[in-house]
Structure 1
Amino acid sequence: MEHSLLDYYKAIERTSSQMLEAAKTENWDQVVRLEGACAVLIAQLRYKSKTDELAPEDRREKTKIMQRILRTDAQIRCLAEPWLNDLSQLIDRNQPQPMH
């Protein structure tokens, strides 16, 4: 089945929403898996966009989808920030300390 460019944007939006739900439940492994799925979709979208163009009405829809994705991404970042800080502290604790 051939997917349109807009189908890829919609799939990225769905996956982004799933990432937000996983982040809300602090299921960071799932967030990471879904982030990988988004990366694949984005690569496919980039490839497809080399040969296809969006119709004017699809461009408006794309803009709305992208705005929703950006809002979702911001929410995920807010939820992930404490986890990332904890991870950073854990990594810092496991680093050998320099000798003076």
Structure 2
Amino acid sequence: MFNAKILDELSSKVNEALASGPAKDVEKNVRALLAQGFSKLDLVTREDFEVQSQLLARTQEKLAALEARVTELEARSTAGAPPSPAGELG
């Protein structure tokens, strides 16, 4: 019934029309609007977020260690050790 060449040409023309038609323009415009909207927001990249998360985790670990050390030093100082003179550490 139909010639295969005619079907190929029709398919080619439909693909060209879709590629250069309003659908493609709409996609470009939506992407541009989204990019513009995201640029106005105060967003960070996933990589920057991960780096900051790791930095926060390390900082929390150090803080916990320092809190434990302070607690230990306070316990020692109240356990009967004579107070150190003013201005002298350790």
Does the alignment reach a TM-score above 0.5?
no
What TM-score, normalized to structure 2? Answer: 0.34
Structure that is richer in helix per residue: 1
Q: Answer with 1 or 2: which has the greater Rg.
A: 2
What TM-score, normalized to structure 1? Answer: 0.31
